[in-house]
Structure 1
């Protein structure tokens, strides 16, 4: 069969994916033909490909005590194999072809490009992964965690895209800026100044670079300063003064600073000296922007690793609970900003470390904080408080949303109970939260009235 956009548009998960992203998937994939009785994959094979059934049927089964157990049947337009952010490494079962089939294959090597450039496609596959986890795992705690990661994918993409875009913009601007350096160098070498005078200017410049002052001027004050500086520079022979003032003021080099430099250089060398100073400051500013953006990305990656507790054994570890709460807030920051929610933290910094299953307790924070955000209107207030009470650590998550009715309060921890619209809630979140807390020999309680809901998580210190 000749593969076309129409084929992929029939895939349920791709209904909201733009055509250009589906075309990218077609261009980067290949079609594999499989005869009846053959295997798409077998137990132990590396999970390194995404596949979509175009024709035929594939049975997923596992082997237990010498017998095969049916797990699922993949029909036309169904997705399987590796999905974005999946940590699965090798197949636990078999994919047997029970009807002659054609399968679209996307290699793992293209996932980085897909995640970076094709958000809707990635999101649809992440959603597919969360659904698959719920269908195939017996551990509802893990299923709920993966579902939350699916919910967070849009926010993470947004949070990572902002500094990545900033780095790209600054890098392009820096490249363009450095392209003008040779021409500016001609004017620099024409400067005729004594070594002592050059050292004096360098001292001013290096002081600004090493001790960059805070610039907290209000917009009106800033505009007035720029106008004043531009006029002063023009009066002292600087032809392109309007191009220099913004950067000079970013480093608090105002009229007073210019007067000091002018006394050192004199009229003849002043313009070229100021252009050189502005050139150095501009380079520093652009490098700072790139550094700040890269640090933001590094911080986000650190928070994600902390949240998911990657590369750690599934055992209790003595941990400061604030680390998990802060990582969760980073993961949910996009939702907080989107609804303009104020965050008030009242953390007791003297709390002892307690032994917990880190990723599972992070799941507790995710569900409770995510629910609190959903419960509030625009510009709500989220409060998180931690404190010690006897032999327990307590964490309160408080929102000023619409509250929970008395009738619903008695049911909120029941499996499959949800007050959210279809597709917005599974009804498993709080049931899983309660189970995790019980597993830690702790307790969770809730009090609610209109305008205030308080979930209190109580965990034992020993």
Structure 2
């Protein structure tokens, strides 16, 4: 068993340039053991106190995110995990489980101290493993963070698109059914002996009702009172479908006094046919307007996505409007904001100049900070998110403030550290604010946070002449 372990250790590519006596020391100060499929060498939360060298078999490192398994890496023969020289890790951030029968060698933390002092080439090889691992894990975790953010945005966007899409389907179906009744109404109307003056009156009333841009905004009580008045007038004149007509007429600003004037210019017996035709025309107009409004909502959302992702841009910095990026980010996250019952206050400086930046990168900044704020505000009474912009000499400042419980003082200094998170296990990767910090620094800016119960404020500063 021991000879096999030592032979396997000597044949690993990672130790190609390590002298034999140093590998002998590593072997003498380590323990070899076998793993069966499904067994763990460590679990999330375990102390990081050993270095594990995979001599044979396959192991998987994974994390749990929202109770779902998220694979981080697959370890094969020659891979090393666990504690490495100069590593500051103290607690395991995931689970490492055997996928097949495996042989592993473990070296405890106490022995690594002697390794660093006495064995330079061996330490050098292990430090190279550590730097490669940090780089690979960071890239994977950052990609995972982006995918999580994309998933949240996609879910919200799907919900936002579903409402207007359903409205279009509903309105178009109703419009199709409604149009089937038009020939009968037209036949009834055209059979009347209507003078030119009466035709002009009908035409003028319709044009005025449809094209009036200044219809008053009515409260529910005001609208009910006016509908009752119109309905009573229609009942008095024995008009069929009075209730439906009343609701539609009031929506387009046709009131009881207008109907009096209408009636005074029409010969007896014409009123029912004319009002039915008028009502049908207004219904058609309203349905088309509903479809148009829903279509515009979809177009606006698609436009917001296009700007948010900067689909038409390349990789070069361009002059961008910070307000546009923030508003498009809010549009992307509207579903989550509404679902959490959050009031958003925009306090934007209209004179803010454009700054030279990468729009897609800046949108990641807004997304990560706003997403964190919505998480802490979820379910809180009178939850408020305030976004403020100001110009300060040669810089622009963006303040994103929430009235949540705040960040504990002992954690504020580490809030931008990679993999550090205040969220529960599985709720975050700890890379969101690290991404924010790197992007802001990439733009020669700065980001800071101040927090106390009831007020957490992120201040992002960008130079105007970047």
Tell me the TM-score normalised to structure 1 length: 0.69
> Shift of residue 273 of structure 1?
0.5
Question: Does the alignment pair 1:209 with 2:216?
Answer: no
Structure 2 counterpart of 1:450: 453
Structure 2 gap ranges (5+): 1-71, 75-134
Cα deviation 1:341-375 (Å, max 9, x = unaligned): 11111111111111111111100000111111112
Structure 2 counterpart of 1:29: none
> Shift of residue 146 of structure 1?
3.3
- Contact 2:141–2:429, Cα closer than 8 Å, also in 1: no
In 1: Cα distance, 2:275 partner to 2:137 partner: 67
What CA RMSD, in Å, does the superposition of the two structures yield over aligned residues?
2.2
Structure 1 counterpart of 2:186: 185
Structure 2 counterpart of 1:418: 421
> Shift of residue 428 of structure 1?
0.4
**Please, which of 389, 392, 395 is the counterpart of residue 392 of structure 1?**
395
Q: Which SS does the other structure have where 1:173 is aligned?
A: helix
> Shift of residue 452 of structure 1?
0.4
Tell me the TM-score normalised to structure 2 length: 0.68
- Contact 1:191–1:273, Cα closer than 8 Å, also in 2: no
Structure 1 counterpart of 2:337: 336
Cα deviation 1:276-314 (Å, max 9, x = unaligned): 111110000000000000000000000011111113211
In 2: Cα distance, 1:284 partner to 1:381 partner: 39
- Contact 1:384–1:398, Cα closer than 8 Å, also in 2: yes
Structure 2 counterpart of 1:283: 284
1:3-152 matches, within 5 Å, as 138=139, 144-152=145-153
CA pair 135-273 structure 1, distance change in 2 beyond 3 A: farther
- Contact 2:346–2:387, Cα closer than 8 Å, also in 1: yes
Cα deviation 1:125-176 (Å, max 9, x = unaligned): xxxxxxxxx9898386665333311121211111000100111110111011
Structure 1 counterpart of 2:236: 235
- Contact 2:384–2:403, Cα closer than 8 Å, also in 1: yes
- Contact 1:237–1:267, Cα closer than 8 Å, also in 2: no
Structure 2 counterpart of 1:439: 442
Structure 2 counterpart of 1:379: 382
- Contact 2:394–2:463, Cα closer than 8 Å, also in 1: yes
Cα deviation 1:209-245 (Å, max 9, x = unaligned): 1114434222233222222211211211312212311
Q: Which runs of 4+ in 1 moved over 4 A?
A: 134-137, 139-143
Structure 2 counterpart of 1:252: 253
- Contact 1:236–1:267, Cα closer than 8 Å, also in 2: no
In 2: Cα distance, 1:461 partner to 1:200 partner: 61
- Contact 2:320–2:354, Cα closer than 8 Å, also in 1: yes
In 2: Cα distance, 1:378 partner to 1:153 partner: 27
- Contact 1:248–1:254, Cα closer than 8 Å, also in 2: yes
Whichever of the two has the greater Rg, that structure is 2
Q: Which SS does the other structure have where 2:459 is aligned?
A: strand
Cα deviation 1:51-98 (Å, max 9, x = unaligned): xxxxxxxxxxxxxxxxxxxx987xxxxxxxxxxxxxxxxxxxxxxxxx
In 1: Cα distance, 2:457 partner to 2:237 partner: 65
Structure 1 counterpart of 2:322: 321
